[in-house]
A and B are shown apart, each in its own frame.
Chain A
Amino acid sequence: MKLDDKLYLVRFNTDKLNHIKILNNDVCLRCETKPCTFICPAHVYDWDEEENRIAVGYEGCLECGTCRVGCPYENIKWEYPRGGFGVSWKNG
């Protein structure tokens, strides 16, 4: 099953405010393996070849916190979505 189809099953109450920010794009240029692009269970981070930077799809974030711990350069500013927003599990 494709990840996109799985994410489609998740209930979100999407905030219009973005809760994720890449602090410095230059750091990503130097980041060899770009772990954020594969350790995130929701594939929120994607390397944009044209723009030469990480594109962030914060709307699909499952709020696990993995990226924040896994970015080797602490280059991701990740905060909780505002209260009541974000993922809302159906089963848990």
Chain B
Amino acid sequence: MEKFDVIIVGGGPAGLSAAISAARAGMKTVVIERGDFPGTKNVMGGVLYTKATEEIVPEFWKEAPLERPVIEQRYGILSGDELVSATYRDPAWAEPPYNAHTVLRVKFDRWLAEQAVKEGVMIIPETVVEDLLYHNDKVVGVRTGRPEGDLGAEVVILAEGANNFIAQKAGLAPKLTPDRVAVAVKEIIALPQEKIEDRFCLEPGQGATIELFGDSTAGMLGTAFVYTNKDSLSLGLGVMLSQLTASKLTPNDLLERLKAHPYIKRLIQGGETKEYLAHLLPEGGYKAIPKLYRQGVMVVGDTAMFVNGLHREGSNLAMISGKIAGEVAAQAIKSGDTSEQAMSVYATRVSDTFVVQDLYNYRNINGFFENNPHFLKVYPEIVADSMRMFFTADGVPKRERLKQIMNNAFAKRSKGSILKDLFGAWRALK
């Protein structure tokens, strides 16, 4: 059986970052990936954060296959045909040090894997890891789907993504449940560069993002998004599986419904759909974080539920957790101690970063929305009604109008309920 210092299961941002940091620390490192090469199985909306990526590959923007630097972010609520939105734009974000870029994962992950190879990492593609190998209680390697495919390691890092099958088998993570995952679908819609720049009001090469709540997902807990690539748009949405199941709608119904909305329709007009994609998103939050380690194993990225849905951050949490795990693995191996206690350093270190801290801050939010489904149905309506009334010039004195706005809101939801909702939301975010 061939032996390595570190075996990493999965070649996404988490696994590749772990590999790079372990190899830099001198470890004989291998990444096992089930796709043709890293990236071919991977989907995201497409926003890659500069700060985290730079910690893995300094000045990556000089070489990495990026689509557009994001200079504008829009958050909106759809209510029927209406849209209420807020936008932040800063052209400075088009220059280093940037804030974020849009990417396409097939290209980006492949590039990141090449950087890993440069650091001495070996990548074994087209290979599914089926289980861990144990010696007594200690993990000593992995079993792959290949004939004679057992590989030995001092430390195994699980970076298998949202479908955390190996972590479940190892007793680290419980079974996934419909209230802890979101189903996401997306289309790549080709459009000429100038069209994109005109429609999104961008200088050549600049990018923008739009996130939409409310009716964009038929009032289900979830979001829809539109991101600009070089010569295409990424348009998609994700919804909690529990809510989709109750709705009886299909993911593609939701996507087509979104594309037919007057605002979206105009953005994608004349575009040609090039690809239709689907993926799972871990949305369990802090309370669903699995056991992060045991003797000879660590869990990183989506496998560890490290996704902050509200801020659509995932790849950055994956990279930072991966990096730390790679470092801890190297340290443990060098000191000849890969015990459970040595691995626990990873949990301590990752808990000291934004990765776990942000999830902790939002620990009550999913439960809050699950228990208050009206939130995403009534409030988009109230907000849109209020804005419409506010902007309508029809001779009604403003003082009177303000009263109408309040009365309309209270008719849709009583004063007491609104107060209760606000208090609840504040507590969930506190």
Contacts and interface: CB of A to CB of B under 8 A. Distances in A.
Interface of A: 1, 3, 6-7, 9-10, 13, 33, 35, 38-43, 62-66, 68-70, 80, 82-84, 86-92
B128 A82 contact: yes
A39 B251 contact: yes
Interface centre among B106, B241, B252 (most CB of A within 10 A): B252
20 contacts: A1-B273, A38-B249, A38-B250, A39-B244, A41-B278, A63-B41, A64-B183, A65-B162, A65-B163, A66-B278, A68-B163, A69-B280, A80-B34, A80-B128, A84-B36, A89-B41, A89-B43, A90-B274, A91-B104, A92-B43
Interface residues of B, number: 52
Contact of B277 (A62, A82, A84): A62
Nearest to B232: A91
Given A42-B278, A43-B250, A92 B241 contact: no
A39 B278 contact: no
Contacts of B177: 69
Interface string B338-367: 000000000000000000000000000000
Nearest to B34: A83
B276 interface: yes
Interface centre among A6, A63, A66, A87 (most CB of B within 10 A): A66
A92 B178 contact: no
Interface of B: 34-36, 39-44, 104-109, 125-128, 144-146, 162-163, 176-178, 181, 183-185, 187-188, 232, 241, 244-245, 248-252, 256, 259, 273-280
Contacts of A90: 106, 188, 274-275
B276 to A, nearest CB: 4
Given A9-B276, A82-B128, A92-B277, A69 B181 contact: yes
B125 A10 contact: no
A76 B40 CA distance: 25
Contact of A10 (B176, B275, B279): B275
A82 B130 CA distance: 10
Nearest to A92: B105
Contacts of A87: 40-41
Contacts of A82: 128, 145
Contact of B104 (A3, A63, A68, A92): A92
A13 to B, nearest CB: 8
Contacts of B178: 69-70
Given A9-B276, A39-B244, A84-B36, A3 B105 contact: no
Contacts of A91: 104-107, 188, 232, 274-275, 277
Contacts of B176: 65, 68-69
A83 B146 contact: yes
Given A83-B34, A92-B43, A33 B248 contact: yes
A67 to B, nearest CB: 10
Nearest to A87: B41
Contacts of A80: 34, 128
B241 A69 contact: yes
A80 B165 CA distance: 10
